[in-house]
Chains A and B, each alone.
Chain A
Amino acid sequence: MRNDVSYIKRPNRPLQVYAIIFLIVLYTPVLFLPLFSFNDSIYVRFPLKGFTIQWYFELWERAQVWNSLMNSIKVGICVSIASTGLGIFAAKALTNYRLPGRPSIIGFIMLPLVVPGIIFGVALLVLLSQMGVPLSLYTVAIGHMIVCLPFSIATLLPRFEGFDRSIEEASADLGENAWWTFWRVTFPVVYPGVVASLLLSFTISFDEFIMAFFLSGTEPTLPMYIWGQLRFPQEFPSILALSSIILFVSFLLVFIGQWINRDDAYGK
């Protein structure tokens, strides 16, 4: 046990303890949501009263929940496909060609990552209202595209950068045109990134609130529905149940995406 790791890499016990506490604290607040969603009381407080799944049943019977769920799924699927598609084009362009102004282009595309969502949200709202475009799920989808595209590109770019450019040249050299080269070489190599981008952008769109807040019309997305219900304390338990389901699905989707896209996906 003494000499199996180098001096620098020797384990650091306090740091290890810190790391574990960090992870626990990171997850704990979120875990209270499912905990109380099974609590047989409309008050969210200790001590717990008893186990029940009535709040989940109540959700099942609410048409509004189903409506907003379908709205969110519709927007999420369209946005994830569109932003991943555009992301693939953009990532390919940014890695294959020595484009002048590449750093500024990347900076521009990544802007929505840092600029507070409220600014782009109100800006789009102002533009759409001046153009006379009625707010709808389409306008929400446009807003979500702007939020998701930087994440798609940030997910795809390392994949495109990570493989040897000469394998695409080899394919061209062996007689394949750009279309076939993409499907026979590029896509199979970058597909973990594509799957991750699809799952990630779907989750982001599904969970997104700020753009939806400013840009949705009469049809709410799921987060909008939850926001509306937060005003009513008596709705708390069923919102907890709904939140627990959303969190579970989000965690699952993102985890799958990240896992497929992990660095050692192609046994190096």
Chain B
Amino acid sequence: MTDTSTLSETGTPSKGASHLSRYFYKSPLSRGYGLLSPTLLLMTLGIVVPVCILLVMSFWTRQGFGFDTTFTTANYVKAFDQPIYMALMKRSLYVSAWATISTVLLAYPMAYYVAFHVHKNKMMWIVLMTLPFWTSYLLRVFAWKVVLGYEGVINSFLMGMGVIDAPLEFLLYSPTAVIVTLTHAWAAFAILPMYVSLEKIDKSLLEAATDLGDGPIWRFIRITLPLSMPGIISASFLIFIPTTGDYITPALLGGPDGMMIGNLIQLQFGAVNNWPMGASLSIILMLFIASIGLVFLFLTKLARERIS
């Protein structure tokens, strides 16, 4: 060990190091963006460019089997003038809002339970709670069709028991069926952000609140709930936004009364074959989502500021 004259192999800088690698060594930022560039490229080509084309197309009109590419706002005018479009938009927002509220209300106690009362196998609980979310959305909705159907699980079960004589028709093909299914489908996803923000709460704060005279209910209202607000807001955001554009659930379970804006967009690209109209409706949906997203961002900021 005392022989310090022995140079380690690492002692000599490689003469072969190219200019490029030297540049990358000197500039960490270029290395960082270099690693990120494939992802950014894919996201740009897969999201930004298509949405731009969609925006352009929304100002075109259909002409036979092709497009009239003269710039016009006709589609937008039509979307706001004819009641059917805005009615479906309103119904989409209404259905998502109820689905969001019921999901958050039902999932919050679950997140609370795992965050505060599960001490062993916490990970197991989290995996169990979120597992269904990762599996086929289509199949989960299909499962609800089986449950709620005219001759489905509930109706045939109730009839078999003699509780009802004829199938309950409101179960299937109604906005309620859509709300129930959406709630169930997104519950697993809603738990995660709420669990994370509940888990982050310093337990000594709760002990302090108790020490200062709060019982369990006041402690919850004054400490736990406000501190977990960011989680509640982001859970609402993560459910509300994607569900407004959903079309599988209304298509399978909504019936004519449960149709949503997503179905209409899909129709424009399918049976109706009016792509420019579909593009306009997509853009309108995006604008709605963006404005609601901004409200959520603002609320999150407000909640965060109150906490820290």
Contacts and interface: CB of A to CB of B under 8 A. Distances in A.
Do A and B come into direct contact in the complex, CB within 8 Å? Answer: yes
B135 A203 contact: yes
B307 interface: no
A249 to B, nearest CB: 9
Interface of A: 5-9, 11-12, 15-16, 18-19, 22-23, 25-27, 29-30, 32-33, 36, 43-47, 86-87, 89-90, 92-94, 96-100, 105, 108-109, 111-120, 122-127, 130, 142-143, 145-146, 149, 153, 175, 200, 203-204, 206-207, 209-210, 213-214, 223, 226-227, 230, 239-240, 243, 246-247, 250-251, 254-255, 258-259, 262-264
B136 A246 contact: yes
Contacts, number: 261
Q: Which DSSP category, helix, strand, loop or mixed, fits chain B's interface?
A: helix
Contacts of A145: 42, 46
A109 to B, nearest CB: 6
Contact of B110 (A19, A111, A255): A19
A250 B160 contact: no
22 contacts: A9-B116, A23-B129, A30-B135, A30-B143, A36-B146, A43-B151, A45-B155, A47-B156, A90-B35, A100-B29, A115-B245, A126-B50, A126-B53, A126-B279, A127-B50, A127-B54, A149-B42, A203-B134, A207-B137, A209-B136, A223-B138, A239-B142
A38 B229 CA distance: 45
A26 B132 contact: yes
Contacts of A27: 132
Interface of B: 8-10, 28-29, 31-36, 38-40, 42-43, 46-47, 49-51, 53-54, 57, 106, 109-110, 112-114, 116-117, 119, 123, 127-132, 134-140, 142-144, 146-147, 149, 151-153, 155-157, 160, 184, 187-188, 203, 206-207, 210, 237-238, 241-248, 252, 262, 265-266, 269, 275, 278-279, 282, 285-286, 289, 293
Contact of B151 (A45, A86, A264): A45
From A19, A27, A92, name the one whose CB has the most chain B CB atoms within 10 angstroms.
A19
A118 B149 contact: no
A118 B262 contact: yes
Contacts of A114: 237-238, 241-242, 293
